[in-house]
Structure 1
Amino acid sequence: MFEIIDLKAILIVFMIFVPLEHLVPLHEGRRYLRRAFVTDLLHLLVTGLLFKIGFLIFVGACMMAIDSAVPSIIGETVRAQPIWLQTIEVIVISDVGFYVAHRTLHSVPFLWRFHAIHHSIEELDALAAHRVHPLDQLFVKATSLLPIYALGFSVWPIIIAGLIYQWQALLIHSNIRIGFGPFKWVVASPLFHHWHHANEPAAIDKNFAGQLSIIDAIFGTMYMPEAMPTKYGTDEPVPDAYFRQLAYPFTRPKRPPIASDLQMAELNHDQSN
Structure 2
Amino acid sequence: MDMDWLLGFIDVKAILIVILIFGPLERMLPARPQQPALRRAWTTDAVHCVVNRIPIGIGLGLVAALSIWLGDAAVPASFRASVAAQPLWLQTVILMLLADLIFYAMHRLFHTVPALWRIHAIHHSISDLDWLAAYRIHPLDQILTKGASLIPAFALGFSDAALAIFFVVFQWHTLLLHSNVRIGFGPFSWLVASPCFHHWHHANDPAHWNRNFAAQFPLWDILFGTAQMRRDAMPDRYGIEDPVPPGYGRQMVYPFQRESKDAA
Normalised to the residue count of structure 1, the TM-score between the two structures is 0.89
From 228, 231, 236, the counterpart of 1:230: 236
1:68-217 mapped onto 2 (5 Å cutoff): 68-217=73-222
Q: Note closer, same or farther for the CA distance 1:12–1:220 as it changes in structure 2 (3 Å cut).
A: farther
Structure showing greater radius of gyration is 1
How far has the Cα of 1:215 moved from its partner? 1.4
- Superimposed CA distance per residue, residues 79-126 of structure 1 (whole angstroms, 9 cap, x where no aligned partner): 110111101111111110110110010011101111000000100000
1:41 aligns with 2:46: yes
CA distance in 2, matches of 1:121, 1:214: 26
Structure 2 partner of 1:269: none
Structure 2 partner of 1:241: 247
1:252 aligns with 2:251: no
Query: 2:62 is matched by which residue type in structure 1?
Result: I
How far has the Cα of 1:134 moved from its partner? 0.6
CA distance in 2, matches of 1:57, 1:216: 29
- Superimposed CA distance per residue, residues 243-270 of structure 1 (whole angstroms, 9 cap, x where no aligned partner): 11111111135979xxxxxxxxxxxxxx
Q: CA RMSD in A?
A: 1.7
CA distance in 2, matches of 1:105, 1:185: 23
How far has the Cα of 1:6 moved from its partner? 2.1
CA distance in 2, matches of 1:206, 1:162: 24
Question: Structure 1 runs of 4+ off > 6 angstroms?
Answer: none
Q: Note closer, same or farther for the CA distance 1:16–1:111 as it changes in structure 2 (3 Å cut).
A: same
- 2:133 is paired with a residue whose SS is helix
Between 1:230-239 and 1:46-55, the stretch displaced more is: 46-55
CA distance in 2, matches of 1:92, 1:135: 23
- 1:240 is paired with a residue whose SS is coil
How far has the Cα of 1:65 moved from its partner? 3.1
How far has the Cα of 1:177 moved from its partner? 1.9
User: Structure 1: which 5+ runs fail to align?
Assistant: 257-273
Structure 2 partner of 1:21: 26
Query: 2:233 is matched by which residue type in structure 1?
Result: A
Q: Retained in 2: the 8 A contact 1:13–1:127? A: no
Structure 2 partner of 1:264: none
Q: Note closer, same or farther for the CA distance 1:62–1:3 as it changes in structure 2 (3 Å cut).
A: farther
Q: Note closer, same or farther for the CA distance 1:67–1:227 as it changes in structure 2 (3 Å cut).
A: same
The alignment of Structure 1 onto Structure 2 pairs a total of residues equal to 255
Query: 1:241 is matched by which residue type in structure 2?
Result: G
Structure 1 partner of 2:4: none
Structure 2 partner of 1:30: 35
Q: Note closer, same or farther for the CA distance 1:215–1:156 as it changes in structure 2 (3 Å cut).
A: same
User: Structure 2: which 5+ runs fail to align?
Assistant: 1-6
- 2:137 is paired with a residue whose SS is coil
Query: 2:242 is matched by which residue type in structure 1?
Result: E
